[in-house]
A and B are shown apart, each in its own frame.
Chain A
Amino acid sequence: GAGVSQSPSNKVTEKGKDVELRCDPISGHTALYWYRQSLGQGLEFLIYFQGNSAPDKSGLPSDRFSAERTGGSVSTLTIQRTQQEDSAVYLCASSRTDYTGELFFGEGSRLTVL
């Protein structure tokens, strides 16, 4: 597609349930990033992929969070046993390379944990 695509755009879940968020980057972009944006906060880095490997997972807030990327394309962010503090907009971005910082963002997935 022309841009970064994320799904679902909106997810409401109950505390304790698992959720999966999907990101389809721009074709040909080798770098993929997940960020989290909470109300009134900036963008919090979660994880970065170069190809299928994740050289930097330093932003994942706990072991309930994991992500994978397959075929150098689609990525899935999984949150297990969701908590209310996980409520946020999860943003995915891709980049042609990993060394410029010029990112193309998706619309985000808004997660609400009740």
Chain B
Amino acid sequence: AQSVSQHNHHVILSEAASLELGCNYSYGGTVNLFWYVQYPGQHLQLLLKYFSGDPLVKGIKGFEAEFIKSKFSFNLRKPSVQWSDTAEYFCAVIHMDTGRRALTFGSGTRLQVQP
């Protein structure tokens, strides 16, 4: 079965610290990859996406993610976090070879940024 692993369940950082959230997926075929974010009290929204091409993708609010096919990974990074980045972050994958059209999500990482 398809699966997505997010290694960090809860991360606490101080403002200006660098962030890296890990994400690994189980399938080796063609994938579209996503990071979604859920700010407190708000709905899930897309942070960034990878379909093809440059494996380093940039999203909103200074976030970026790198697709490393050999490692089945799509880690999220930000050089300097802000208090407003406090949120829950979900990695997700859709496997384009299988015909299944539903995103598979990881269990999420709760990021708490302390001022």
Taking beta carbons and an 8 Å cutoff, which residues of A are in contact with B? Answer: 3-4, 31, 33, 35, 41-43, 45, 48, 50, 55-56, 59, 91, 93, 98-108
Contact = CB atoms under 8 A, between A and B. Distances in A.
Contacts of A33: 102-103
Interface stretch (B14-22, B60-68, B71-79, B90-98): B90-98
A48 B102 contact: yes
B43 A59 contact: no
B25 interface: no
Contacts of B92: 43, 101
A102 B49 contact: yes
Given A43-B90, A101-B94, A48 B44 contact: no
Interface of B: 4, 6, 32, 34, 36, 42-46, 49, 51, 90, 92-94, 96, 100-108
Given A42-B90, A91-B44, A103 B105 contact: no
A105 to B, nearest CB: 4
Residue with the highest number of chain A CB atoms closer than 10 Å, among B51, B90, B100, B103 = B103
B104 A55 contact: no
Contacts of A91: 43-44
A103 B44 CA distance: 9
A15 to B, nearest CB: 27
A106 B103 CA distance: 16
13 contacts: A4-B43, A31-B101, A41-B107, A45-B103, A45-B104, A50-B101, A102-B34, A102-B46, A103-B44, A105-B43, A106-B43, A107-B42, A108-B43
A50 B102 CA distance: 11
B44 A105 contact: yes
B102 A56 contact: yes
B103 A101 contact: yes
Contact of B100 (A3, A56, A100, A105): A56
